[in-house]
Structure 1
Amino acid sequence: MVLSLVSLCATEVVSDHSSSPCWLKWIPRELYRPLLEAAFSSNRPLAAGELVQRWPERTLRVGRRKRGATSPNRLCIQALLLAVVRGLSDQRSVLQLLDLCGQQGDEGSLGDPMGGWSLTVALCTMVVQARNGAKRVQRKEGERERKRFSALQRESDVKRERADVVENDNIVSSAVKSEEELTKGVRRRMEMERKGEGPSANEAGIKIDYNDDKDLDVLVHVRADLFVNARSWERVRAALSTQGPLKLQCRYLRIEEISVSNIKTLLDLLPHQFLLGIDVRYSSLGVAGLAELLPLLSTFSALESLRLHYCNLDLRRDLHGQEEALRDLSQGLTQLYHLKCLSLTALRLPGQLRVLLSSLPQPLETLELPYLSLSPADLAYLSCSHHASTLQQLDLSENRLDETTLPSVRRLLSQASSSLQHLSLSGCGLNDHLLGLLLPSLGCCITLKSMAFALNPLSMSGLMDLVKTAVRMRSLHQLLYPNPLEDYQPGLPDLPSSAQLLDWPLDETTEFNTTSTQLNRVLLENGRSDLLLTCDLLNYHNNLKDE
C-alpha cells in the first residue's frame, strides 16, 4: 500500500507527543481524520486521545473500512473511550455520535487489537462511569447554587434590616418591627431551603434541581456491535439501563450461553431502530424458546440477519408438544419482514426446512445451513423455493451429497446462477464422479466470487478438473480447494469422511512440491493471476470478511 503525502506527514506529526501542544492549536478540522488514522496505525494512544477529546465534527466513525486494514491497538481504543468521557465537559468537542461498528478484532492476533467481548465490556464501563461522573458534577453544581442563593438571601435580609432601622424614628417600635421582620426572614429562608425553590430563585434566573433520579440529557450516542455472554451479561444490562450523557446503541448483537429469559430482557433494553442482526450461540433455546423470542425480534424494524449456532433445536415431529411449537415457530417467522440472512448451524432439522423457509415473507439473500443433515426432501424444496433465485451466499457444508440429492443441488445452482456470489460445499463427500456431475452447473454461475470445496475426497485428477473449471469463471477470485488424496500419508479409507480428512496427517513434501506447482501452472497458462487458490481453512473465512 502506497501512503499519500498527507498520511506520511500525519505519521511524523503524531510520532512526537511532546510537540502536541503546539500543533493541536493550529490544525484545521479536515486534518483531524488523517492525524487520527496515523495515531492508530503507529500505535500512538496519547495522540489519539487528544484528537478525539477535541474532535471538531459531530460524528466519529472508527472501524475497518479498507481491505487489509488492521484494527487499532487496544491501548488506542482505550484512549479513545477515555477521551470521549473527558470531552463531555470540554467545550471544544462537538461530538454527538461515536460509531465503532465493525471495530473489534480477533483477540490475541497481531497488533493486540481489542476483541468483541473486551470492547463491549469497555463500552459498558464507560457508559456507567460517565453517568456517575455527570451526577457528581450535577450535585456539586446544585450545592454551589444553593450556597449562592443562601448568600444572596442573607445579604438581602441584612440590607432590609438596616433600612428598617434608619427609616424608623421610634426605637422601640423599630426594634419590635426588626424582630418581626427577622423572624419572617428566617422562617422564609427555612421554607425556601426546604422546598429548594421560590420566587426569589426564579427572579434571579437560578434553576435548582436536587432530583438525582431525573434522566440526564444524552450528549453522545455510542453505536457498536455488542458481544454478550454469561460473564458480561450484568454489565451490559446495567449500561443499557443507564440514563446519562452517553447512550449505547447496538447494530449487531452476538449472544453466547445466555438463557431465554435473559435474552428477552436484553432485547427489551435495546433501541429498536438500530439493530440489524442477532447471532445466538451455544444457548439452549429449544423450539419453544425460539418461538418465544421471535415476536420480540419482529419489533426490530431494521432486523436483516438471524444466526443460530448450536442452540439445541430439535424439530422432530414425534416429540410431545412439537406440533404446537412448530406452528408457533412458523407464525413467528412470518413477522420478520426484512430478514435477508438466515444462518443455522448444527441444528437437528432433517425434513423440516420447508417449515422454516416457507414462512419467511421475503426471499433470502444469504442462507447458511452447515451440519444440518439435510434430507433429499429438504434440498428438493430449497431448489424450487422462492429463495433460490435471490441467493447471493449459500453454505451447505457438512451436508452429505450423493447421486439422489445432486440433481436438486444442480437445479438450485441453475436457479441462483445470476445472483450467487459465495458458495460453500466443504465436507459434502464429493468424490471425483460426483464433482464431475456438478461442474457444468458450477460453470454457469456467472457471478460467483468465491467457492469452498475443502475436506472433500478428491484425487489429484478431480482437483485439476475443479481448478480448470474455476479459471474459466472470470468473476471468481477465491477457491478453497481440498488437499488431494495423494497428499495424505498412507492408510486413509477409500472414501474418507471430512473428519478423517481433517485429522489425517499430510505428506508435507508431496503437498508443496507437487500440488502447489501444478495448480500454479494452470493459473499461469490461463492468465489468472487474480484468482487466489488456497487450502488454508482458517484464513479463507477471514479473507471473505475483507471482500
Structure 2
Amino acid sequence: MKEMMVMTGSEMRFKSLVHICASKITSNYQMTKEAVSSVPHELFQILLAVAVSNNQAPATKLLVSRWPYKVLNLCNVLTSDTQLQFSLADITTQIMVTVLSAVVGTSSCQAKVVDLQGVRLRCVDMATCLHAMINAFKTSSNPTSDKVKVIFDWTVEEQNFHIVSKAMNTFSESCKVELQCGKMKAEGLSENRLIRLIGFLDKDIAHGLNLSLNSLSHSGLKMVLPHIKRLENLRSVDLSYNILNLPRDISGDVCKCIKEVFSSLPRLQDISLGYNRITGRLMEIMNSLQSPVRSLRLDKCFLSLGDLSYMSNTMNTSHLKMLDLSGNTLSNYIKSLENVLLRSCHSLVQLNLDGTSLANNDLSSNMLKRTAASFKKLAKFSIQYNGFVSVEQIGIVTAYASIPTLRLIRITVQASSEVIYGNEFLEDVLLGGNRFSVLSEYQEALDQLPGDKSRVLTLEVRDELTGCLFVDALTFRL
C-alpha cells in the first residue's frame, strides 16, 4: 500500500492511503452513507476505527447501525489497526453514547453481541450512557425478537446506583437488549446495594470485581462475599481499602469466608487486599486457590514473618507477574523476602517495594543487588521511600538497570539539606542546578553500563521528603 506523509502540528507521521480516504469519508455524513451501501464488508472495520478515533459521532452511529457482522468488539476494531495509535482509554463519552444508542435504537444492526469492555467510564459518564440506552430503546421503531447482548465495564457509586438498577430492570423485561458487565467497580455502597449489584452479574461474562473503598467490616464481608461464589469466571477480585482487621478475627470466621470464596473461583488470578490488616493470616485465606496467582497486591497489609515465610516456601509464585509489597515493614524479613523474589524471578514483570524500611537492615542492599541478576522478565521496579543513602541506592539502581528487560525504575532521593521546602520547591530547586547535582551520580553510573544503546530505560525520581517528582525523568539508552 502506498504510504503518504501527513503533518499534524509539529508531528510528522506516515499514514496509508486507505486511512486518509477513511478519514475523508467519515468526516462527511453523506459520503459515509454512500460508502456503507457500496464498500466491501471488510472495510467497515477500518471506517469505524477511523470514525471513533476522530470522534466522528454521525459516522460512528451510521457504521454501527449498519454493522454487517454478528459481533462488534470495539477493542478488536481499534487495536487491530496499528496505524491509529488509539486506545479504548481515549474514547469519549459522546462516542460511547453514540454506539449504545445506535445498537439499541435501530433494527438494521446485525450485531448480536456488542462488546465495549475496556472503555473507562466514570460514574457520571456511565449514567449518561445508560440514560441514552433507555431513551433509545423507547424510541426504537422495529424491535426484533433476537436479543442484542451489550457488554461493558461498570463503575457504580451512590450517584448512579439507581440508574444502573433502572437500566437492568428495563432491559430484563425486554426481548431486544441484554445488558451485561465484564468488570465491575463498586465504591462507597452499602452491603445490600453491593449484593444487589452482584446479583446483576452473569456468571459466564463477569471476570473482574472491584469492591475497594466500601468500608466493609467483618460482618459486611460475611454478608457480601458468599454472593460472589457463583461467578465462576472471575479472574480478579479487589478487596482493598476496606476496614478488615483479620488478626482480631479470633474465631477465623472472616478468614474462612474469604478462603471459601477464593477456593470456589477456579480462574481467580489477580488478588488485591491492600490497606487491610491481615497480619499472620495470608496462608489461611489463600492456601486453597485453584489457580496460580498472577497479580498480588498486599500493600500496607502489616505482613508478618509468617506471611513472608508462606510466600517464600509454600505459595505457588511461579506464575506471579505483579507483586506489590509496599508499605509493609520488611527490614526484619530480608531472607524471606529474598526467597520470595527468587521463587518468582522467572515470571515477575512488576515489583513494588516502596516504603518497606529496607534501609534499616544493612543486608538489604546486597540482597537486592544479588537477586537482580536472577530476574528474567522484570520491566518495572519501584523502591521509593526506603531511606537508602546515595551509595547504596546507586548500586541497587545499577544492578536492576542491568536486567535486559527493565524499562522503568522509580526511586526517591534526598535533595540538598540546605533547601527549605515550600510551594516554590519545584521551580526553585528541581528546575535549578540542584536537580543535576543530586542526580549526576546516578547518571554517571548508568552511562557506564554496557549495551547496544537500543534499550530505553527511564529513571523516575521523587524527593524523599516532599514526594515531588523531579521535573523530567532521566532516560538512558542501554
**TM-score calculated relative to the size of structure 1:** 0.72
Counterpart of 1:353, as a letter, is: L
Does residue 296 of structure 2 align to residue 370 of structure 1? no
1:251 Cα shift? Answer: 1.0
| Equivalent AA in structure 2 for residue 4 of structure 1 | S
The answer to whether the Cα contact below 8 Å between 2:104 and 2:137 also exists between their aligned partners in 1 is no
Aligned with 1:117 (options 116, 119, 123): 123
Identify the residue that residue 225 of structure 2 maps to in structure 1.
294
1:374-406 Cα distance to aligned partner (Å, 9 max, x none): 12222122211222333221100111221x211
In structure 1, the residue matched to 2:412 is: 483
Distance 1:122-1:9 versus aligned 2 partners, 3 A rule: same
Name the amino acid aligned to 1:132. K
Q: Are positions 1:278 and 2:213 aligned together?
A: no
CA contact (8 A) 1:391 1:420 kept: yes
Counterpart in the other structure of 1:141: none
User: What secondary structure, in the 3-state scheme, does the structure 1 residue paired with 2:415 have?
Assistant: helix
Letter matched to residue 383 of structure 1: S
Matching residue of 1:323? 252
**Residues 342 and 367 of structure 1 are in contact (CA less than 8 Å); yes or no, is this contact kept in structure 2?**
yes
- 1:431 offset after TM fit, Å? 2.6
Change (3 A) 1:530 1:41: same
- Give the AA of the match of 1:253: M
65, 74, 87: which is aligned to 1:62? Answer: 74
Residue range with higher mean Cα deviation, 20-29 or 515-524: 515-524
1:363–1:390 Cα contact (<8 Å) kept = yes
Matched, 1:353 2:353: no
- In the other structure, the counterpart of 2:114 is 98
CA contact 2:151–2:180 (8 Å) conserved in 1: yes
What secondary structure does 1:399 align onto?
Answer: coil
Residue 160 of structure 2 is aligned to residue 237 of structure 1: no
Partner of 1:128: 134
**Which of 222, 231, 242 in structure 2 is aligned with 1:311?**
242
- Partner residue of 2:329? 400
CA distance in 2, matches of 1:233, 1:392: 34
Q: Does 1:472 align with 2:402?
A: yes
**Counterpart secondary structure, 1:431:** helix
SS, match of residue 362 in structure 1: coil
Q: Who is 1:44 aligned against?
A: 56
In structure 2, C-alpha distance between the alignment counterparts of 1:415 and 1:519, rounded to whole Å: 29
* Structure ranking higher on relative contact order (CA contacts 8 Å, 6+ apart): 1
Query: Equivalent of 2:90, from 59, 65, 71?
Result: 71
User: Given the alignment of the two structures, is residue 431 of structure 1 paired with residue 359 of structure 2, yes or no?
Assistant: yes
Q: What amino acid is aligned across from residue 458 of structure 2 in structure 1?
A: L
Contact residue 54 and residue 87 of structure 1 kept, 8 A: no
Q: Which moved more, 1:225-234 or 1:21-30?
A: 21-30
Q: Which has the higher strand share?
A: 2
Measured after TM superposition, the shift of residue 475 of structure 1 is 1.7
- Residues 368 and 10 (structure 1), Cα distance of their counterparts in 2 relative to 1, 3 Å cut: same
1:533 Cα deviation after fit: 2.2
Match of 2:456 among 530, 538, 541: 530
Between the aligned partners of 2:418 and 2:115, the Cα distance in structure 1 is 50
- Aligned equivalents of 2:204 and 2:434: distance in 1? 51
* Shift, 1:504, TM fit: 11
The structure richer in helix per residue is: 1
- The one-character-per-residue Cα deviations of 1:130-155 (angstroms, maximum 9, x if unpaired) are 54345x868xxxxxxxxxxxxxxxxx
Quick one: distance in 1 between partners of 2:49 and 2:253? 55
Check 1:371–1:489 CA distance in 2 against 1; reply closer, same or farther (3 A cut).
Answer: farther
**3-state SS of the aligned residue for 1:486?**
coil
Q: Is the 8 A contact 2:124 2:160 kept in 1?
A: no
Aligned-pair CA distance for 1:369: 0.5
Q: Return the alpha-carbon distance in structure 1 between the equivalents of residues 313 and 229 of structure 2.
A: 27
Change in Cα spacing, 1:3 to 1:515, as seen in structure 2 (3 Å) is farther
**Which structure 1 residue ranges, 5 or more long, are not aligned?**
105-114, 139-215, 493-502, 540-547
Tell me, in whole angstroms, the C-alpha distance in 1 between the residues paired with 2:428 and 2:86: 30
Cα gap change, 1:98 to 1:523, in 2 (>3 Å):
farther
- Partner Cα distance (2:93, 2:200) in 1: 28
The separation in 1 between residues aligned to 2:228 and 2:203, in whole angstroms, is 9
Aligned counterpart in structure 2 of residue 13 of structure 1, from 19, 25, 35? 25
1:366 partner amino acid: S
Q: Distance in 1 between matches of 2:273 and 2:313?
A: 20
The alpha-carbon deviation at position 505 of structure 1 amounts to: 10
SS at match of 1:222: strand
The answer as to whether partners of 2:407 and 2:456 remain within 8 angstroms in 1 is: yes
Give 1:74 shift.
2.8
Letter in 2 for 1:507: V
CA distance change for structure 1 residues 218 and 127 in 2, over 3 Å: closer, same or farther? Answer: farther
In the TM superposition, what whole-angstrom CA distance separates every residue of 1:477-517 from its partner, at most 9, and x where no partner exists? 2222x23213576479xxxxxxxxxx999931256424555
Aligned-partner SS, 2:90: coil
CA 1:430–1:487 in structure 2 vs 1: closer, same or farther (change >3 Å)?
A: farther
* Native 8 Å contact 1:429 1:456 kept in 2: yes
1:30 is matched with which residue: 37, 42, 51?
42
Distance 1:5 1:394, change over 3 A: same
In structure 1, the partner of 2:381 is 451
Q: Which runs of 5+ in 2 are unaligned?
A: 1-12, 470-478
User: Alpha-carbon deviations, 1:241-278, whole Å to 9, x = none?
Assistant: 33221211111110101111211121222211111110
Deviations 1:74-118 (A, max 9, x none): 322222222223323x3xx212111111112xxxxxxxxxx3324
Q: Provide closer, same or farther for how the CA distance between residues 87 and 316 of structure 1 changes in structure 2, counting only shifts above 3 A.
A: same
Say whether the 8 Å CA contact 1:376–1:405 is kept in structure 2.
yes
Is 2:108 aligned against 1:86? no
- Code of the residue aligned with 2:70 in structure 1: it is R
- Distance in 2, Cα, partners of 1:538 & 1:366: 28
- Cα deviation for residue 4 of structure 1 reads 2.6
Residues 283 and 322 (structure 1), Cα distance of their counterparts in 2 relative to 1, 3 Å cut:
farther
Quick check: 1:487–1:506 contact (8 Å CA) kept in 2? no
CA distance in 2, matches of 1:99, 1:330: 32
Kept in 1, the 8 Å contact 2:369–2:400? The answer is: no
The Cα offsets for residues 274-308 of structure 1, whole Å up to 9 and x where unpaired, read as 11110012212222332333332121121111101
Quick one: which amino acid aligns to residue 371 of structure 2? S
Give SS of 2:168's match. Answer: helix
* Percent pairwise identity: 23
TM-superposed CA distance for 1:350, in Å, is 1.7
Structure 1's 533 and 124: CA in aligned 2 closer, same or farther, altered over 3 A? Answer: same
Residue type of the alignment partner of 2:372: L
* In 2, Cα distance between equivalents of 1:40 and 1:518: 47
CA distance in 2, matches of 1:296, 1:21: 48
Conservation of the 8 A alpha-carbon contact between 1:460 and 1:486 = no
Deviations 1:302-342 (A, max 9, x none): 1111101211112133x6x7533433343333322221111
Which residue matches 1:410? 338
- Matched residue of 2:327: which SS? coil
